[in-house]
Structure 1
Amino acid sequence: MTSRKPQSMKPATAAKKLGIYLPATPPEFQAGEVTREQLDELQSNPPEWLAELRRNGPHPRPVVAQKLNVTISGLARGGVSEALTTQEISDLLQNRPQWLVDERANMAAVRDEQKRIRDAAAEKATKTKGQSRHFH
């Protein structure tokens, strides 16, 4: 019987799954592979460095975009190309530069349109179900 090597991932993949900015992680995290078991342990019992990164950043762009309620493309249009700390995100939310106001409005419009399309599709499906009963 052969023992199987535990499944592992690159540090960049693990950082993405953890929602953290890889260059801000400890060197030992960046240096080696991360097994699924190690990832599970980090998620369920985060060490202080991980808790600190999640709390104060710097945060990777997907997390920054989520916290600002904009898309990653919206960040780029606003000139944000680097990771931001929690404080920098708070400052943006308090001061609301025009690009952020515009991008949040765009995001809201896209979400409204997606909801309208989903509602229309659900209504059509309901009508179709109702009509199919009459033909049997």
Structure 2
Amino acid sequence: MTSHQTTQTMKPATAAKKLGVYLQATPAAFQEGVVTRAELNALQADPPEWLRELRRNGPHPRPVVAAKLGVSISGLARGGVTEALTTEQIEALKTENPEWLQKERATQAEVRKETARLKEKKRAEAEDEGAA
């Protein structure tokens, strides 16, 4: 019995997400086709100029925008940012530092602090159980 290995493919939206780029800004050929796992690996290993340019200057998808601003995706929405932003627009927001951004950054810092506290508590409890 021989096994036929099928080529694993993904939709362009999935590939764009894995590459961390905004799908609508990618070339038409990328948006209209399917991407194989091998093609995705090749794009990650040796990105073509269009991919390097998108990663450098955007427009960036919301998860990337949120990370660059140090806020959550929900925080972006609360701040009224619902579209992809370019690196230049992100830098302008950082410089402007509106009140909503300050508030969301503080919220995100609290979330990180609480997550670290819970992780430490869980580790300590596991240690205590191991010692008992």
The TM-score with structure 1 as length reference comes to: 0.92
Aligned to 1:69: 70
Q: Matches of 1:124 and 1:37 in 2, distance apart? A: 43
CA offsets, 1:52-75, max 9 Å, x none?
000000000000001111100000
Q: Which has the larger radius of gyration?
A: 1
Aligned residue pairs total: 131
Identity among equivalent pairs (%):
58
- Structure 1 122/27 Cα, relative in aligned 2: closer, same or farther at 3 Å? same
CA offsets, 1:54-98, max 9 Å, x none?
000000000000111110000000000000000111111111100
Q: Matches of 1:127 and 1:51 in 2, distance apart? A: 49
- The answer to whether 1:45 aligns with 2:56 is no
Post-superposition shift, 1:127? 2.2
- Map 1:1-136 to 2 at 5 A: 3-130=4-131, 132=132
The amino acid that maps onto 2:45 is: S
CA offsets, 1:100-134, max 9 Å, x none?
0000000000111111111112222222222x2xx
Q: Matches of 2:111 and 2:120 in 1, distance apart? A: 14
Q: Matches of 1:122 and 1:5 in 2, distance apart? A: 43
The amino acid that maps onto 2:105 is: R
The TM-score with structure 2 as length reference comes to: 0.94
The amino acid that maps onto 1:100 is: L
Segments of 5+ residues of structure 1 without an aligned counterpart are none
- Mean CA deviation greater in 102-111 or 119-128: 119-128
User: Aligned with 2:54: secondary structure?
Assistant: helix
Q: Matches of 1:5 and 1:28 in 2, distance apart? A: 22
